[in-house]
């Protein structure tokens, strides 16, 4: 349970909000690289942390992310002409480069435009994603070092989907691995990107996982242990890196999944989803399944990132499939199963009514860490956990361990990124 | 005319509002029985008096109406699995019985769930309707005794439609029988459920009805008298039972119509419509006409209770039919004629501008009775009129009476329910 | 740049607002005459200056514009029966004449209705437009005398379109002739109602027009001069008459274009567009092109005044056409090019962020004149400029003048209306 005030504190991320300040300490995913595929391609409207922006790639291939509205009379630069190293407003021809600097006002002498500049943020391509940094320029950290972003393009697949709710309830779904045994249980047997893994049987047989959550540089390790044979536990270990990076523990030889949950504004967010294999390319079948909306990805309304099954059509609820146990909730697909329930909490989940259980330990500790980060940033200007890219070099893992060993020690090597080496996976 | 404050007082019915407290003293129609047709059928989303709820019928056939959101993390239980005498949240398998009691949290020991309970309300089937009581459990009255609910299913037909306005302006349309001579005048001759009655001629010939409204246990009797031959008056008597039950006076041998107007929230309501015959089954033709949207019923957008002709399509206004007098207002069907005008007053009618006439006497007295009921409930915790089911045992009537007799006395017997006996009808 | 307070002052025009008071000093365009084509035709819903009204033409052909909601119980009179010199509410038959006077309440004696009257405004047909005057009846000015309204119907074409933004940003686009060289530049060569004029070459060759704006009775003259051969300047002179009348300077022998920008409410306005020739009928080709949405007109969603290319479909943006220079912004048609950019500023442009340039001199002076008019009306009850119809008798002009002459003097005759004489046009 959170008070209204505390719930507001974590869920509001617009300019000037305390949690908004925290988010502005990080590089955050803004666009898929393929959304700005080539020099002088069409500009793209972006909304992040409640700021309306425009992104473009100039003639030299440089990336720009700046105020969406022209400095002159507030026309949206989405209508602009992207040409000769700048985005030109179609109203009076004012032109801006990727830094937001006005470089031409056709009706005036050059001196005029030099004094005009749009608010702009660095936008950098890495690992198939365009990352934005919206904070204090003097405190800009080095680029992210998440493993998926450091492997070859052939080894990964990235998608994003529009989600009609606040970022926090989406992220809390990502921390919470206990719902897999219910909501996604049928998918463990049927989804080509999940099925067949040896560990699945523990997920489905032990419905009382015990959670052990520990602090870790940059965030948390959330370990869920289930009973296994021979005096062993089956451990699934989910790292959370502040503010909103989570990774699903691996299953057999399947690619490893992960998410970012990025606020568009306080009532909408992007659910970023990636898959990668650390030691090999994705197979054609795996890539095909991902494109087809399987695993943690989804099908879209053509030309958009809005899922085909969404709130407006009750996520294509199929009561017959629910009744027959083809799906647990009647909704098809892991991504939409999550989206449907998270959105059903309302645009901003009212946490004054919630009743957390021991399985929500990860959620509770994550909130505590965020409250502390907010306080330290506000009071001491201290960068929050997860800003330092060294803290990104972590893996999820699924392992069988003797019952008398704690995963934190026994799985230490498994949780460390070792480029080119396979994940520890059951 | 009402001041803004008085208008707010009658139109607002959410939790904690004075008129909301009044509504919570009654059993109110929540669902058609056919919406929860059998054990373990799909749960149904309900919104009543601005509360978001979920209704379901369990394995034993018991009915539940409770908070829509799971106690745990606020997922909508509409996505739930209705199985083995409870509704199970698909996120982590928490299960609730029809009383709102949590009966299973799979990840925890049984003691955990015993302390968890959702707010729940009694939901009871009677007369083809599922009735909810949303008030103080210690003050729950006996079940309603409206005649239509006590006849055999073959003798009645019930429908509901979504109406895009506050409940009060809809209910006031139900009290007001003077509009029949205008808005519905052409329907008296053409609608198979209205036409041919001997009394219709008085409706259409005397456009200056005189209203005599008298207090009655539970509400009001609204008598409208029109000139008839031989020193007689033609009386149409409409009972109103608090807070929102009205009955249309009968015509010839046609079934008798009535309504409930139930707040969904302050800007939407359910228009409940029923037809019944006290002494015989409905004929196949009558039932067919009702299903077809004739009489006081309507056609729907398939799969919904939203009328096909609605605000978004200007109710399929036909100016040619208006001009030619095929319909009076250009809108087809009695139900949609009412809906169109009531919704045209705005989501919540602004009564600071209205100018009431003598024909609005019923409306004026009903408001006065409601203000008094609010005051008595707030100050003395006194149950409002209409809670006692004895007060439901009343009929509408249409009668010819000598001019020197008051209907209150002369029609006394006609207004009393006599099971199996026909209505007094002209 | 305007402060929030000053921006509110100019953009808000509802009842009781200072700028609303200014607008209520004028006759303003309310409807196309063709919207009420004949006696007893269907009434039309009108919203002007945030007031919801109903317009109708009675049996004698008289025009009425009055409160949309019936005085009795607030039913929309759009559902009314327009018959026998009055609009009759379909609920209880109350009837109102074109002055708003209630002339019949069927249930009551005649004395009853005499005391009932709806707020009504004069509505007068002139020049193909129905003009409304919504101000103090004692201060009603004579009818408008704009030249386009005084020529024969064969000499003019008038249209209106719904625009999804505040009136002011639309009007400011009308004052601002500098954007023509950018946004509409390709249309000068291709649109049949613009192309081929000798003056176009100056528009396209000199991108640094110099603006000279001078006060004029009723408003401003906005002169834009561009370099021409032989020691001449090419002057384009745009009159602005308060509060929202603008005229485009003529091109060759093309019809002359002009606009009104009329607030529907604070977030929507009507863009009125007219074309006329002072000395001849429009040709069949010209009229056809206008009906087809060329020039400053547009194509509509059938049965509405909503443009086919609108905000909901990104104005049918064609990036290929933008890239190839078929259109400058990728949007087709001068009207929709303007609409797209003006609407992209947001429902009410936030002028606290704008940076005006010397080419915005007309906009700056117009705002100053409006602030002064507001002050004079509030403090001294002084009618604002442009109320006196003598001030309407002005023309736009395009002329070549020796560089040492000011257009104000040298084009004096060209700017005066001379009925039947051609415009000064290059």
For residue C155, give both structure tokens.
Answer: 């000499």
What is this structure's pTM?
0.96
- Contact predicate C173/C342, CB 8 Å: yes
Query: Is the Cβ of C42 closer than 8 Å to some Cβ of chain B?
Result: yes
For residue C307, give both structure tokens.
Answer: 């443009």
CA dihedral in degrees (B336, B342, B343, B349; nearest 10)? -170
Per-residue pLDDT, averaged over B389-413, amounts to: 95
Measured CA to CA, the distance from residue C344 to residue C383 in angstroms comes to 34
* Sequence-distant contacts of A12-16: CB under 8 A, at least 24 apart: A12/A266, A13/A49, A13/A50, A13/A167, A13/A263, A13/A266, A14/A49, A14/A50, A14/A51, A14/A265, A14/A266, A15/A49, A15/A50, A15/A51
Measured CA to CA, the distance from residue A404 to residue C411 in angstroms comes to 98
pLDDT digits (tens, 9 = 90+) for B202-234: 988 888 889 999 999 999 999 999 999 989 999
A13–chain C nearest CA distance, Å: 22
Measured CA to CA, the distance from residue A290 to residue A286 in angstroms comes to 6
Average pLDDT, chain C: 97
Q: Please tell me which residue, C181 or B287, carries the higher pLDDT value.
A: B287
Per-residue pLDDT at B208: 87
B163–chain A nearest CA distance, Å: 20
CB within 8 Å: C106 and B356: no
Per-residue pLDDT at C207: 85
Q: What percent of chain B has pLDDT over 70?
A: 100
Best of B47, B73, B93 to mutate (most A CBs within 10 Å, chain A): B73
Please, which residues 181-210 of chain A have a Cβ atom closer than 8 Å to chain B? 181-183, 207-209
Of C42, C69, C90, the CB nearest to B328: C90
User: Which residues in chain C are closer than 8 Å to B169, comparing Cβ atoms?
Assistant: 73
Give the SS3 label for residue A255: coil
Q: Please tell me which residue, A204 or A122, carries the higher pLDDT value.
A: A122
Query: Is the Cβ of B412 closer than 8 Å to some Cβ of chain C?
Result: no
Measured CA to CA, the distance from residue C20 to residue B183 in angstroms comes to 37
Task: Tell which residue, A98, A82, A100, A81, has the closest CA to residue A90.
Answer: A81
Measured CA to CA, the distance from residue C390 to residue C144 in angstroms comes to 9
User: Which residues in chain A are closer than 8 Å to B90, comparing Cβ atoms?
Assistant: 182-183, 328-329, 337, 341
Of A81, A90, A116, the CB nearest to C355: A116
A131–chain C nearest CA distance, Å: 25
Measured CA to CA, the distance from residue A45 to residue C350 in angstroms comes to 19
Tell whether the model's pLDDT for residue B127 goes beyond 90: yes
The residues, ordered by sequence, that sit 6+ positions from B130 with a Cβ below 8 Å of its Cβ are B29, B30, B31, B32, B33, B35, B36, B55, B63, B65, B123, B124
Tell whether the model's pLDDT for residue A128 goes beyond 90: yes
- Contact predicate A73/C345, CB 8 Å: yes
Residue A189's CB is within 10 A of a number of other CB atoms, namely 11
- Contact predicate B281/B152, CB 8 Å: yes
Average pLDDT, chain A: 96
pLDDT digits (tens, 9 = 90+) for B40-58: 999 999 999 999 999 999 9
Please, which residues 96-155 of chain B have a Cβ atom closer than 8 Å to chain A? 105-108, 112, 116
Annotate B205-218 with b (16+ C-beta within 10 A) or e (fewer).
ebeebebbbeebeb
Measured CA to CA, the distance from residue C204 to residue C281 in angstroms comes to 30
Task: Give the sign of the dihedral formed by CA B244, CA B245, CA B249, CA B254.
Answer: positive
Instruction: Number of B to C CB contacts under 8 A, please give it.
Output: 79
Tell whether the model's pLDDT for residue A207 goes beyond 90: no
Give the distance from CA B171 to its chain's centroid.
8
For A46, C18, C71, the CA distances from C48, given in Å and listed in that order, are 35, 16, 20
Residue in chain C lying closest to B359 (CA):
C107
Q: Which helix (H) or strand (E) holds B25?
A: none
Per-residue pLDDT, averaged over A161-171, amounts to: 98
User: Which residues in chain C are closer than 8 Å to B346, comparing Cβ atoms?
Assistant: 74
Measured CA to CA, the distance from residue C12 to residue C8 in angstroms comes to 6
Annotate C106-129 with b (16+ C-beta within 10 A) or e (fewer).
bbbeeebbeebbbebbbbeeebbb
For A33, A37, C319, C324, the CA distances from A41, given in Å and listed in that order, are 12, 7, 9, 13
CB within 8 Å: C71 and B357: no
CB within 8 Å: B106 and A350: no
- Contact predicate A243/A384, CB 8 Å: yes
User: Which residues in chain A are closer than 8 Å to B78, comparing Cβ atoms?
Assistant: 344
Instruction: Number of A to C CB contacts under 8 A, please give it.
Output: 79
The whole-number mean pLDDT for each consecutive block of 10 residues of chain C, a chain of 426 residues, reads: 97 98 98 98 98 98 98 98 97 98 95 97 98 98 98 98 98 92 92 93 89 96 93 96 96 97 98 97 98 97 97 98 97 98 98 95 97 98 98 97 94 94 95
Residue in chain C lying closest to A76 (CA):
C344
Tell whether the model's pLDDT for residue A154 goes beyond 90: yes
Tell whether the model's pLDDT for residue B65 goes beyond 90: yes
pLDDT digits (tens, 9 = 90+) for A384-411: 999 999 999 999 999 999 999 999 999 9
Residue in chain C lying closest to A81 (CA):
C329
Residue in chain B lying closest to C107 (CA):
B208
pLDDT digits (tens, 9 = 90+) for A210-237: 999 999 999 999 999 999 998 999 999 9
Mutual orientation of helices B334-344 and B167-175 as an angle, nearest 10°? 130
B210–chain C nearest CA distance, Å: 8
Please report which confidence band the pLDDT of residue A203 belongs to, taking 50, 70 and 90 as the band edges.
confident
Name residue A416's beta-bridge partners.
A394
Give the distance from CA A80 to its chain's centroid.
29
Query: Is the Cβ of A90 closer than 8 Å to some Cβ of chain C?
Result: yes
For A313, A353, C125, the CA distances from C34, given in Å and listed in that order, are 41, 58, 10
pLDDT digits (tens, 9 = 90+) for A129-151: 999 999 999 999 999 999 999 99
Query: Is the Cβ of A345 closer than 8 Å to some Cβ of chain B?
Result: yes
CB within 8 Å: C344 and A105: no
Task: Tell which residue, C194, C395, C151, C193, has the closest CA to residue C280.
Answer: C151
What letter would DSSP give residue C43? Answer: P
Of C317, C345, C357, the CB nearest to A75: C345
Query: Is the Cβ of C312 closer than 8 Å to some Cβ of chain A?
Result: no
Chains with ≥3 Cβ pairs under 8 A against A?
A: B, C
Phi first, then psi: give them for residue A299, nearest 5 degrees. -85, 150
Please report which confidence band the pLDDT of residue A177 belongs to, taking 50, 70 and 90 as the band edges.
confident
Q: Which helix (H) or strand (E) holds B378?
A: helix B361-380
Of A74, A79, A108, the CB nearest to C357: A108
Query: Is the Cβ of C331 closer than 8 Å to some Cβ of chain A?
Result: yes
Beta strands A123-126 and B156-163 are unpaired
Chains with ≥3 Cβ pairs under 8 A against B?
A: A, C
């Amino acid at each position: 349970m959170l008070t209204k005030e505390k719930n507001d504190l974590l869920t509001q991320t617009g300019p000037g909000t305390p949690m908004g300040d925290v988010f502005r300490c990080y590089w955050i995913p803004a666009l898929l690289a393929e959304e700005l595929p080539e020099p002088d391609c069409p500009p793209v409207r972006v909304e992040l942390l409640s700021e309306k922006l425009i992104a473009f790639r100039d003639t030299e291939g440089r990336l720009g992310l700046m105020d969406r509205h022209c400095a002159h009379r507030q026309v949206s630069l989405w209508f602009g002409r992207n040409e000769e190293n700048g985005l030109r407003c179609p109203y009076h021809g004012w032109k801006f480069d990727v830094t937001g600097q006005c470089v031409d006002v056709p009706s005036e002498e050059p001196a005029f435009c030099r004094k005009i500049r749009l608010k702009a943020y660095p936008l950098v391509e890495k690992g198939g994603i365009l990352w934005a940094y919206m904070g204090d320029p003097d405190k800009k950290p080095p680029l992210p070092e998440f493993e998926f972003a450091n492997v070859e393009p052939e080894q990964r697949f990235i998608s994003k989907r529009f989600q009609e709710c606040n970022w926090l309830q989406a992220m809390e779904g990502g921390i919470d691995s206990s719902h897999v045994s219910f909501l996604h249980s049928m998918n463990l047997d049927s989804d080509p990107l999940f099925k067949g893994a040896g560990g699945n049987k523990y997920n489905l047989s032990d419905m009382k996982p015990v959670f052990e959550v520990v602090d870790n540089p940059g965030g948390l390790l959330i370990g869920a242990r289930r009973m296994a044979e021979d005096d062993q536990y089956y451990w699934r270990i989910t790292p959370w890196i502040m503010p909103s990076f989570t990774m699903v523990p691996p299953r057999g030889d399947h690619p490893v999944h992960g998410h970012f949950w990025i606020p568009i504004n306080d009532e909408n967010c992007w659910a970023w989803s990636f898959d990668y294999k650390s030691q090999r390319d994705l197979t054609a079948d795996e890539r095909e399944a991902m494109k087809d909306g399987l695993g943690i990805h989804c099908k879209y309304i053509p030309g958009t990132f809005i899922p085909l099954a969404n709130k407006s059509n009750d996520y294509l609820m199929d009561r017959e499939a629910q009744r027959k146990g083809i799906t647990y909730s009647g909704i098809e697909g892991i991504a939409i199963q999550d989206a449907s329930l998270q959105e059903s909490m309302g645009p901003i989940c009212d946490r004054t009514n919630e009743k957390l259980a021991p399985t929500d330990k990860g959620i509770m500790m994550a909130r505590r860490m965020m409250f502390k980060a907010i306080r330290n940033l506000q009071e001491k200007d201290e960068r929050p956990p997860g800003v330092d890219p060294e803290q990104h070099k972590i893996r999820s893992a699924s392992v069988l361990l003797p019952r008398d060993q704690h995963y934190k020690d026994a799985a230490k090597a498994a949780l460390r990124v070792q480029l080119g080496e396979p994940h520890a996976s059951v």
